[in-house]
Amino acid sequence: MMNRTSQILYAYWNEVRGKRIAPRRFEIEPARIGSILPETFILERSEQGGYRFRLSGTRIFECFGVEFRGESFLDLWQGVDRDLVANTLHAVTDQGAVATFSFQRAAESGRPATFAAVLLPLVHSCQ
What is the model's pLDDT at position 126?
56
Q: Is 15 exposed, middle or buried (0-12, 13-18, 19+ CB in 10 A)?
A: exposed
The proportion of the chain whose per-residue pLDDT surpasses 70, expressed as a percent, equals 94
- In the chain, which ranges are continuous DSSP H helix? 4-17, 58-64, 79-95
Closest CA to 13 of 111, 79, 99, 114: 99
What is the model's pLDDT at position 125?
64
Per residue in 36-55, pLDDT (tens digit) is 999 999 999 988 889 999 99
Per residue in 96-115, pLDDT (tens digit) is 999 998 888 776 677 787 88
| SS3 state at 41 | strand
pLDDT at 7 > cutoff 80: yes
> CA–CA separation, 45 vs 79, rounded Å?
21
